[in-house]
């Protein structure tokens, strides 16, 4: 985080990916005055977490998650562009067409840094597909205009396969902002995060537990050579 960025673009497929994965880093950039734009691929409308008893159904969940996404981006003070792809089908889209779509935004925004998922090491097929399209979008740019790409891997085997991440960012200084963004995704935040929100008396212990799991954000710098 030593380099001052001109503009950061985050490219991920779902509402809440930005908050669980990179919100601490995003908050640090915003504290530096760096503009950040989130290109969110889908509305997560196929998510399985609809509560017990149910608070949503297949028809209402997209609107709920859209509202949560807007709220989370407001908490992080970042711009939001919703790309309109369908949840759980990004892997079936033509990668080149998605890349061209993403490149259109990148050409307009001219970021110095793109944050996305590391293809094949991001568990969910949408994560892998959107990450691959994001990398391809940057590759399609003229070399002198390409932003740096930070790719986030989250599979269990990523360090064994890829080695240690290039960026290991301690986000505990902005952890409260990260938690605010996570909790804005109420339909998805559960377990320890739900307890963190609803039990202030236990917040110190729960916050420490959450920090251990979410207080460091790791990225690989993509090599286009």
Q: How far is CA 125 from CA 61, 117, 185, in A?
A: 20, 11, 21
Instruction: Please report the pLDDT score of residue 47 as a whole number.
Output: 57
Q: Is residue 32 part of a domain?
A: yes
Instruction: Please report the pLDDT score of residue 84 as a whole number.
Output: 96
- The region that residue 51 occupies, defined by phi over 0 for left and psi between -120 and 50 for alpha, beta otherwise, is left
Q: Can you give the CATH number for the domain in which 129 is found? A: 3.40.50.10320
Instruction: Please report the pLDDT score of residue 53 as a whole number.
Output: 39
115 contacts: CB under 8 Å, gap ≥ 6: 8, 9, 10, 11, 12, 22, 25, 26, 149, 150, 152, 219
Q: Is residue 1 part of a domain?
A: no
CA 102 – CA 47 distance, rounded (Å): 24
Instruction: Please report the pLDDT score of residue 51 as a whole number.
Output: 44
Report yes or no: 12 and 124 within 8 Å, Cβ to Cβ: no
Q: Is residue 2 part of a domain?
A: no
> What does DSSP say about strands 216-221 and 79-82: parallel, antiparallel, or unpaired?
unpaired
- In terms of residue numbers, what domain contains 208? 8-221
> What does DSSP say about strands 216-221 and 167-170: parallel, antiparallel, or unpaired?
antiparallel
Instruction: Please report the pLDDT score of residue 202 as a whole number.
Output: 46
Task: Enter the pTM of the model.
Answer: 0.91
Q: What is the pLDDT of residues 29-62, one digit of tens each?
A: 999 999 999 999 999 876 555 444 355 555 678 8
Q: How many domains does the chain have?
A: 1
DSSP string, 154-176: -STTHHHHH-S-SEEEE-GGGHH
Handedness of CA 90, 78, 177, 167 (dihedral sign): positive
End-to-end CA distance of the chain: 23
**Which residues in the chain come in under a pLDDT of 70?**
1-2, 46-59, 190-207, 209
Instruction: Please report the pLDDT score of residue 62 as a whole number.
Output: 86
Provide the CA 203 distance to its chain's centre, in angstroms. Answer: 25
Name the average pLDDT for the chain: 89
Q: Is residue 3 part of a domain?
A: no
């Amino acid at each position: 985080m030593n380099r001052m960025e001109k503009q950061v673009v985050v490219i991920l497929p779902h509402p809440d990916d930005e908050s669980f994965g990179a919100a601490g880093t995003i908050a640090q950039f915003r504290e530096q005055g760096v503009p950040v734009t989130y290109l969110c691929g889908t509305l997560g409308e196929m998510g399985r977490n609809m509560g017990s008893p149910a608070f949503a159904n297949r028809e209402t969940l997209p609107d709920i998650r859209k509202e949560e996404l807007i709220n989370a981006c407001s908490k992080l003070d970042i711009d939001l562009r919703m790309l309109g792809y369908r949840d759980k089908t990004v892997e079936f889209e033509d990668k080149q067409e998605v890349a061209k779509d993403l490149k259109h935004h990148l050409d307009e925004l001219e970021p110095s840094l793109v944050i996305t998922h590391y293809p094949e090491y991001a568990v969910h097929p949408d994560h892998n597909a959107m990450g691959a399209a994001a990398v391809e979008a940057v590759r399609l740019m003229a070399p002198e205009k390409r932003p740096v790409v930070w790719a986030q891997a989250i599979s269990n085997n990523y360090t064994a396969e890829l080695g240690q991440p290039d960026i290991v960012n301690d986000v505990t200084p902005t952890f409260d902002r990260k938690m605010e963004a996570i909790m804005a995704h109420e339909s998805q935040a559960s377990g320890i995060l739900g307890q963190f929100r609803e039990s202030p008396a236990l917040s110190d212990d729960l916050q420490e537990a959450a920090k251990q799991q979410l207080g460091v954000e790791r990225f690989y710098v993509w090599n286009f050579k």
